[in-house]
């Protein structure tokens, strides 16, 4: 147990975006759910479970029945649908349900960003949509880049977060919505991810032995 936990600390695995089909079911076995945390938050458009990441880069083990059934499909998330429709010309991102939740939330919370104008809704959403387009362009050219380096381990937390089930399935753990969505939409062959939690050390050992990774 100790060896596999130590050996997978700060590890970045490469998988196909197609391997992530579901979110975590929002049960009491999770650390919290989206609706428990906040129903107003833009990412709480649909409820799902979440596990907290270890700030020291270790993969947690949880043998409870949190994976007894999957949560909602990742493709049903408002975040994914907004990006999918925008990319395919069905609906501009600024007109999506997610963008409206996003704008309403920052208005309520009075969040600030020097690069965005929150007083004018259209201006704000137009600028945010341009940022979305730049993210598409960046991932199209470079792929999804791993967030990690030797000098700043805190960056590791920002990687796309997944959990590993007893059936060796990967569920989305609520970090990296846009990157994972765009990778799926663009049909990328692989993306860097981190495993936040696994069902057992045995499952983690199997997963670790099958996939390539980068450790920095």
31 phi and psi angles, rounded to 5 deg: -70, -40
Query: Residue 157's pLDDT is what?
Result: 92
C-alpha separations of 142 from 10, 51, 80, 196 in Å:
22, 29, 20, 25
pLDDT, tens digit, 9 for 90 and up, residues 155-200: 899 999 999 999 999 999 999 999 999 999 999 999 999 999 999 9
Asked if residue 215 has pLDDT above 90, the reply is no
The rounded distance, in Å, linking the Cα atoms of 168 and 105 is 36
- What is the distance, to the nearest Å, from the Cα of residue 42 to the centroid of all Cα atoms in its chain? 14
Domain ranges of the chain: 2-215
pLDDT, tens digit, 9 for 90 and up, residues 108-138: 766 555 445 556 778 888 999 999 999 999 9
The residue with greater pLDDT, 98 or 155, is 98
H helix count then E strand count, the chain:
7, 9
Q: What value does the mean pLDDT take over residues 44-63?
A: 96
Q: What value does the mean pLDDT take over residues 62-72?
A: 97
* CA proximity to 214, closest of 2, 1, 14, 5: 14
Adjacent-strand bridge partners of 22: 73, 171
Whether the model pTM is above 0.85: yes
Query: Residue 200's pLDDT is what?
Result: 96
Adjacent-strand bridge partners of 213: 13
**Distance between the two ends of the chain, CA-based, in angstroms?**
22
Asked if residue 97 has pLDDT above 70, the reply is yes
Query: Residue 13's pLDDT is what?
Result: 95
């Amino acid at each position: 147990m100790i060896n596999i936990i130590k050996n997978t600390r700060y590890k970045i695995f490469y998988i196909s975006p197609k391997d992530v089909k579901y979110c975590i079911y929002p049960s009491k076995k999770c650390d919290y759910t989206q609706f428990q945390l906040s129903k107003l938050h833009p990412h709480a458009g649909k409820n799902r479970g979440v596990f907290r990441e270890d700030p020291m880069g270790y993969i947690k083990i949880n043998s409870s029945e949190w994976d007894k059934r999957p949560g909602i499909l990742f493709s049903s998330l408002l975040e994914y649908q907004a990006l999918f429709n925008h990319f395919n010309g069905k609906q501009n991102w600024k007109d999506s349900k997610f963008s409206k939740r996003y704008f309403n939330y920052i208005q309520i919370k009075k969040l600030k960003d020097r690069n965005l104008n929150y007083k004018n809704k259209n201006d704000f959403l137009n600028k945010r949509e341009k940022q979305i387009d730049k993210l598409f362009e960046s991932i199209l050219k470079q792929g999804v880049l791993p967030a990690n380096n030797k000098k700043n381990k805190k960056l590791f937390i920002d990687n796309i977060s997944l959990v590993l089930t007893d059936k060796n399935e990967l569920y989305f753990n609520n970090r990296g919505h846009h990157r994972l969505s765009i990778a799926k939409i663009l049909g990328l062959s692989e993306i860097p991810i981190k495993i936040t939690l696994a069902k057992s050390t045995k499952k983690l050992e199997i997963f670790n032995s099958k996939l390539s990774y980068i450790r920095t």
